[in-house]
Every structure is written in structure tokens, then in C-alpha cells.
A and B are shown apart, each in its own frame.
Chain A
Amino acid sequence: GAGVSQSPRYKVAKRGQDVALRCDPISGHVSLFWYQQALGQGPEFLTYFQNEAQLDKSGLPSDRFFAERPEGSVSTLKIQRTQQEDSAVYLCASSPTGDGSQPQHFGDGTRLSIL
């Protein structure tokens, strides 16, 4: 595809349920980032992949958050036992290189609402 694709666009879950959010980066992009954007705030870094390797997960807020990119392309962000504070837009971004020298291209995000 031409850009970063995220699905679903909207997800509503009850507190305590597990959710999985998908990111299809731009084809061939080495780097993949996940960010969390609370309402009215700037995006906050969650985790970073270079190909299939998760090089930085320092931004994941708790061990309920897990991300993977097993084949170095599509990535999934999983949140277990969701809480109301997990409600946010989850953004995925990709970049062509693994050296931070190229811009990040963002998808339109998944808006997660926890009831």
C-alpha cells in the first residue's frame, strides 16, 4: 500500500478484555514504532522494532502491553486485561532505514475505547 495501514480504526472493549491492534507498515520499511496518543495530547513512544527485533520497549506502560513483529513486516500491539486508562489512539509509524535518519510516516491510528 501507499501508506501505513492500521486496523481496526475503532475498537470498543469492556474492561478486562484483551485487544489486538494491527499495523501494516510501508513495504520495505525497516523501522516500526508504536505510539500512544491520549485525547488532547501529543503522541508518546511505546516501542520500536528494527526488522523483527524489538530494540526498545521502554515506553510500554505495563506488562499488560506486548508488541511483536515476527516477520519484520506486520506488527501487532496486544493489550491484556484492558483498563479504562488504556483508552487512547494507538499510532503506528514506519521509517525506511534503521538508523533514525529518515522521517517517520504515521498511520491514522486505532481509537481504543475501554468501557
Chain B
Amino acid sequence: QQQVKQSPQSLIVQKGGISIINCAYENTAFDYFPWYQQFPGKGPALLIAIRPDVSEKKEGRFTISFNKSAKQFSLHIMDSQPGDSATYFCAASKYGGSQGNLIFGKGTKLSVKP
């Protein structure tokens, strides 16, 4: 059973537009939700993360919206740029404790057209 479901699988956006990627999770024990950006041939790089005690977190052009009751969270990229073209992964884990291994979604390939 896939614990973190991500959509869409791919996304094409015009330069300057808003990119929106959605994720839903199953396990209510998850309490840490990061988004990672991955370029071809590179490892995932942390973009922004949220904990469920807030409903929104913004860092520059990147915003996470979190809906605890619906068990959903989303990434919004404002003023999308061609340099944002990459694969984006949502993830979830249990914050604290002795583990913290991340459960990833399957990824969204974003293409920003100039």
C-alpha cells in the first residue's frame, strides 16, 4: 500500500505561472512533511518542509499548504522559472524518535516553458 500518493506525474507550466503539486498520506503518525527537488544525475535536495502544527509555510517562491483533516499537503511554486524544471518529491516521516526514515511519493516531473 502506497503510504504517500503524489500527483500529477508530470506538469508543464509557462514561465511566470504557478506550479501546484499535491500529495496525500495515509499514516496519521506522520508529522514531518518535506519537499525535495531532484535534477537529473543529482541527489534529492531539501526545498521546504512543514510540520502539522501550521497550515502554511512560505519560503521565497515556494509555499507548502497543509490540510491535516484531509491528510493532504501541496507545494506551490510561484513565478515558475525554467530553472525550476526538475522532479519534485513529497515525503513524510515521524519527526523525532530514533528513526525518521522518509517515505517518498513517486515524484512529479515539472517542465517550465520559456
Chain A interface (Cβ < 8 Å from any Cβ of B): 4, 31, 33, 35, 40-45, 48, 50, 55-56, 59, 91, 93, 95, 98-101, 103-109
Q: Tell me what chain B mostly uses at the interface: helix, strand, loop, or mixed.
A: loop
CB of A95 to closest CB in B, whole Å: 7
Could you tell me the distance in whole angstroms from the C-beta of A52 to the nearest C-beta in chain B? Answer: 14
Quote the shortest CB–CB distance from B49 to chain A (angstroms). 7
Contacts of A48 in B (CB 8 A): 99-101
Q: How far is the CB of B112 from chain A (nearest CB, A)?
A: 20
A46 to chain B, nearest CB (A): 9
* Given known A40-B107, A100-B32, A100-B95, contact A33–B101 (CB-CB < 8 A): yes
Residues on B with beta carbons closer than 8 Å to the beta carbon of A105: 46
B43 CB contact (under 8 Å) in A45, A99, A103, A107: A107
Contact B104 A42 (CB under 8 A): yes
Choose among A43, A107, A108, A109 the residue that contacts B104 (Cβ–Cβ < 8 A).
A43
Contact of B46 among A41, A91, A99, A103 (CB under 8 A): A103
The answer to whether A100 and B41 touch (CB under 8 A), given A41-B106, A42-B106, is no
Query: In the complex, A109→B95 CA distance in Å?
Result: 24
Q: Are B97 and A99 in contact (CB under 8 A)?
A: yes
Provide the residues of chain B in CB contact with A59, threshold 8 Å: 101
CB < 8 Å: which of B44, B100, B103 contacts A106? Answer: B44
Query: What distance in Å separates the Cβ of A7 from its nearest Cβ neighbour in chain B?
Result: 13
Cβ B44 vs Cβ A91 within 8 A: yes
Whole-angstrom distance between the Cβ of A80 and the nearest chain B Cβ: 23
> Would you list which residues of chain B between 59 and 107 have a CB under 8 Å from chain A?
89, 91, 93-107
CA distance A38 to B93 in the complex (A): 20
